[in-house]
Copies of this chain bind each other. A is one copy, B any other.
Amino acid sequence: MGTVVSLKKKTDRESGIDRIVGLVSEDMQRVNELILSKTGSEVTLIPEVAAHLIESGGKRLRPMLTLAAAGMFGYRGEGHIRLAASVEFMHTATLLHDDVVDESDMRRGKASARMVWGNEASVLVGDFLLGQAFKMMVEVGSLPALEVLADAAAVIAEGEVMQLVTTQNTATTEDEYLAVIRAKTAALFAAAGEVGAIVADRDAEERAALRSYGANLGNAFQLVDDALDYSGVQATLGKKVGDDFRDGKITLPVLLAYRRGNEEERTFWRRSLNDRAVEEGDLERAIELMASHRALEDTIGRARHYGAMARDALEIFPGSEYRQALTEVIDFCVSREF
């Protein structure tokens, strides 16, 4: 029985990503070419570092949202290609800077850029990609799209700083945690969706719908990501289990286990996360406590809630293969690798 469920999930997931990938494949080809051409520089360190990350097999979920949104409206222009590439560059720049901030040694199953080329190169190539992103969006010439993406850039950075402050504080509330992920993750998903509507010249209601779809999808995506960090399946993704734990990062699985725990358990969480006095066997203990309090299941439950909101945000649009594809992305995000 367990096997049947697992197989069914796998099928759902694959069809989910397959449909959107198929629909935007020609456009995505052009986005990829643009991305490669915009990392070009006589300073060879730049294409080297950029390629390391860009060719490391990210799913390019965010630019796909822009392309699919524009596609759903039958957009026939060129602007969505540049906007999608800008969105991906903003994301890549964030990853480069995140790895420096978190002192990560791996990213997508490979050594992180900062381990290969140093923190300096990661900071500066990130800045370069941000600069290129802004250049590309300016080229599109849409002030409303610029407004949305510039706003996202500021909000994302604000969210990252917020996360820095909540790190090592197990007393963080779920609301505070949500404010962090809304800023650091959901803001870019929201912008990615909204600019797809903007470039296709859609009205305020349609823009807001895609913005809401993206924001809720982003929340769901991040919640699942945070649960995966404590799940064994992680190892197969090339990420180490427990990275967040070792970084003292306060995510929803931790918050739930902490709140639901007894005083002895809270002392454990405070020692290992607030004081970073991690001992042999602590990660295993953390995973056990999460299991006993159903912290991972309930984190996924919260993700489903945002997934449902994302789905309803799309309801104002007439049925179409594009809308179906965007809906399946939600299922894909919520049921990743569990």
Looking at A41-49, A228-236, A258-266, the stretch in contact with chain B turns out to be: A41-49
- Asked if A154 and B125 sit within 8 Å, CB to CB, the answer is no
User: For the complex, is A55 an interface residue (Cβ under 8 Å from B)?
Assistant: no
Interface string of A115-139 (1 = CB under 8 A from B): 0000111011101101110110111
Given A135-B150, A138-B146, A150-B138, A158 and B123 contact (CB-CB distance below 8 Å): no
- Asked if B162 and A43 sit within 8 Å, CB to CB, the answer is yes
Task: For A184, give the chain B residue with the smallest CB separation.
Answer: B124
A226 to B146, CA, bound (A): 37
- Asked if A46 and B161 sit within 8 Å, CB to CB, the answer is yes
| Chain B residues, CB < 8 A from A158 | 41, 43, 46, 128, 131
- Asked if A134 and B150 sit within 8 Å, CB to CB, the answer is yes
User: For the complex, is A151 an interface residue (Cβ under 8 Å from B)?
Assistant: yes
Copies in the complex: 2
User: For the complex, is A18 an interface residue (Cβ under 8 Å from B)?
Assistant: no
A161 to B160, CA, bound (A): 24
Q: How many residues of A contact B (CB 8 A)?
A: 40
User: For the complex, is A291 an interface residue (Cβ under 8 Å from B)?
Assistant: no
* Pick from B43, B151, B153: contact of A161, CB under 8 Å: B43
| Chain B residues, CB < 8 A from A101 | 119-120, 123-124
- Asked if B128 and A100 sit within 8 Å, CB to CB, the answer is no
CB distance from A195 to the nearest CB of B (A): 13
- 26 pairs of residues in contact across A and B, judged by CB atoms under 8 Å: A41-B158, A43-B158, A43-B165, A45-B161, A97-B123, A97-B124, A97-B127, A101-B120, A101-B123, A101-B124, A121-B161, A124-B157, A124-B160, A125-B157, A127-B156, A127-B157, A128-B161, A130-B130, A131-B156, A134-B146, A134-B150, A135-B150, A135-B151, A138-B143, A138-B147, A143-B143
